DNA sequence: TTAGATATATCATTAAGTGATACATATGGA
DNA sequence: TCCATATGTATCACTTAATGATATATCTAA
């Protein structure tokens, strides 16, 4: 995750889920449910990425955490990065659809 | 690239570009120009991925190729995979935007 | 005639993702 | 009460993916 540009898919999903405070397990559940099981983030992926996001200060441990559940939420910086990545992804989709339909 | 679900960003870009026949170098140029240099696919990434896509039969060497320029194009299978991934990406974006705006 | 763009390709390294596993607490039945 | 299942966090070791550096050849325009 060089310098925060180009979020990978799992990173994007996790950050999107953490736009609102959630604990890790809830992130896994949300993604799995929302995608009808098409996208599953396992614990290894989840906690590896959470560790990175904390280090990059894109998320923080939220007050509401207790010893059992650790609640995280996007920082302002994280929100900005996510919003920028949403734009990038929209441009990607535009390009793809243009190429697919162009001409025929 | 397990079994063709979840295309990574570089793979997605390259496949999108190859919806219409193009040689490798043109793919690099197209992506770089379209994104105003925000996304750059270097030769190592490009040819590594082209090799994989050929092996998976998502692209094929196109007739118009000569010894200098190798022109590739999506197969029917490749087109189907790309279209499915476009849908997945749209769902991802919907989820992200919903989480970002929900409540406030 | 030669510098820079075009074009393809691989090697070696780094970065990213993940299966397997571990461990603790909570909860709802039998 | 016991215990199976779900909830919840975490890491290790391995695989997969991406890429910087480099090599090589051709084409083009000054």
DSSP calls for A33-79:
HHTTTSS---HHHHHHHHHHHHHTTSEEE-TT--SS--EEEE-HHHH
- φ/ψ of A63, rounded to 5, equals -50, -45
Report pLDDT digits (tens) over A74-93.
999 999 999 999 999 999 99
- Strand C: which bases are under 7 Å from protein Cβ? 6-12, 15-22, 25-26
- Partner-chain contact B89 A92, CB within 8 Å: yes
Task: Please tell me the predicted confidence (pLDDT) of residue A3.
Answer: 54
Q: What's the predicted TM-score (pTM) here? A: 0.91
Report pLDDT digits (tens) over B35-93.
888 889 999 999 999 999 999 999 999 998 887 899 999 999 999 999 999 999 999 99
- Partner-chain contact A99 B6, CB within 8 Å: no
* Angle between helices A9-17 and A43-55 in degrees, nearest 10: 80
Cα–Cα distance, B2 to A39 (Å, whole number): 13
Contacts of A41 in chain B (CB under 8 A): none
Q: How many of the other CB atoms lie within 10 Å of CB of A17?
A: 24
Contacts of B73 in chain A (CB under 8 A): none
Cα–Cα distance, B11 to B23 (Å, whole number): 15
- Partner-chain contact B12 A92, CB within 8 Å: yes
Protein-to-nucleotide distance from the CA of B61 to the C1' of D7, whole angstroms: 50
The listed CATH number (3.30.70.260, 3.40.930.10, 1.10.10.10, 3.40.30.10) that belongs to domain B9-101: 1.10.10.10
Widest CA span of chain B, in angstroms? 58
Contact A61, A72 (CB under 8 A): yes
pLDDT band at B4 (very low <50, low <70, confident <90, very high): low
pLDDT band at B1 (very low <50, low <70, confident <90, very high): very low
In this prediction, residues A8-21 reach a mean pLDDT of: 96
């Amino acid at each position: 995750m060089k310098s925060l540009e180009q979020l990978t898919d799992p990173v994007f999903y996790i950050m999107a889920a953490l736009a609102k405070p959630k604990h890790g397990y809830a992130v896994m559940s949300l993604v799995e449910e929302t995608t009808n099981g098409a996208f599953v983030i396992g614990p290894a992926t989840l906690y590896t990425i959470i560790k990175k996001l904390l280090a990059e200060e894109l998320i923080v441990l939220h007050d509401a955490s207790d010893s059992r559940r650790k609640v995280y939420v996007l920082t302002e910086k994280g929100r900005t990065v996510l919003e920028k990545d949403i734009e990038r992804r929209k441009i990607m989709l535009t390009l793809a659809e243009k190429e697919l339909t162009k001409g025929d």
